[in-house]
Amino acid sequence: MSAPRVKVGVLGATGAVGQRFVQLLAGHPWFDLAALAASERSAGKCYAEAASWRLDTPIPDAARDLPVLPAEPGLECRVLFSALDAAVAGPIEEAFARAGYAVLSNARNHRMAEDVPLLVPEVNADHTALIAVQKQRRGWKGFIATNPNCSTAALTLALAPLERRFGIKAVVVTTLQAVSGAGYPGTPSLDILGNVVPFIAGEEEKIERETRKILGRRSGDAVTFHPMVVSATTTRVPVVDGHTESVFVSLEQAADLDAVREAFRSFSGPPQALRLPSAPAHPVVLRDEPDRPQPRFDVNLEHGMAALVGRVRPCELMGWKFIVLGHNTIRGAAGAAILNAELLQAQGILAD
């Protein structure tokens, strides 16, 4: 890659996902962190002051003294990673796209729009074709591309190998989600210490819809949802990082255990072929131990960018069942958006 370095910024930089963007972008080989924006409350402060930094590595020097700017066009960068809250993300992201920025959004607002790609680069890199449609239809100089919600990110990585080889008819999934998925301050400790909260607002619908869009087929300018049925129950558990998912899958074609395992193990996609900087060597890591993956021990494998799959075994009812684990603020949020930007850069779309 001899492409010139690209200036990037972060919208919503002070929150939990915003901090993860800043952490992951520090020292990025292609991107220079040039602008940080947040709500008016933080504007005017330097980043170290404005962000109540809550990651277990120090604030990157490159970000520490950057001013926190208002989230409005005028930021000196080409790409904006959006960690904005869904309550405000919609119009702000549109304003930036209209003004010519490439907006890589982690917010849910535009994910389901038919001209906005919902990307998992190993799975549906061709969905970036929607960007041209979007720019034309909306008359924008820039565009919006999105990554899925945190549970869907790992789930679709784990489903894609099965979809490719055998086809998928139906999925039943129960999630055990980490508290970092709820942002900061997010889940009160009185709610979750020694407890399970068997409900996360809006999460089940996101998993059920987004999975079908990501695994959907593009023909020409449009993406058709995959016809599979997805049914989810989502819960919150006292884990810091890492969403665990108990998955039951019904396949179109017969499969045996070796073939299913081989499908997981050999799975690869454009990020690996293109050697994108944030691409995991193995987007799906198959664990053979009887009791893995586990969030506290395994969530950082492949720098948090892989879906870890374990306990693959037949299910008398659905056909197959297994466990999936993904890092919810890396592969499930900031890392996903950065990988999307890298894909777009490699495809020549970022520089348009």
Distance CA 59, CA 68 (A): 14
Distance CA 262, CA 284 (A): 11
Contact 119, 340 (CB under 8 A): yes
Could you say whether residue 205 binds its own copies (CB under 8 A)? no
Judged by CB, which is closer to its own copies: 220, or 290?
A: 290
Least Å from the CB of residue 23 to its own copies: 13
Could you say whether residue 288 binds its own copies (CB under 8 A)? no
Active-site residues, by number, are 150, 243
Could you say whether residue 87 binds its own copies (CB under 8 A)? no
Kindly state the tokens that stand for 250. Answer: 């019904």
According to CB under 8 A, which one of 55, 99, 129, 274 is a site residue for its own copies? Answer: 55
Kindly state the tokens that stand for 229. Answer: 């049925």
Least Å from the CB of residue 340 to its own copies: 26
Least Å from the CB of residue 319 to its own copies: 10
Could you say whether residue 316 binds its own copies (CB under 8 A)? yes
Contact 109, 93 (CB under 8 A): yes
Judged by CB, which is closer to its own copies: 86, or 199?
A: 199
Could you say whether residue 77 binds its own copies (CB under 8 A)? no
* Footprint of its own copies on 224-283 (CB under 8 A): 229-231, 233, 235, 237-240, 244, 246, 248
| Neighbouring-strand partners of residue 175 | 234, 245
Q: Are β-strands 222-224 and 284-286 bridged in parallel, bridged antiparallel, or unpaired? A: unpaired
Could you say whether residue 293 binds its own copies (CB under 8 A)? yes
Contact 146, 106 (CB under 8 A): yes
Could you say whether residue 154 binds its own copies (CB under 8 A)? no
Helix (H) or strand (E) segment spanning residue 34: strand 31-38
Q: Are β-strands 31-38 and 6-11 bridged in parallel, bridged antiparallel, or unpaired? A: parallel
Distance CA 90, CA 105 (A): 10
Residues near its own copies (CB under 8 A) are: 16, 54-56, 58, 170, 172, 174, 176, 179-180, 184-199, 208, 229-231, 233, 235, 237-240, 244, 246, 248, 290-301, 310-311, 315-318, 321, 323
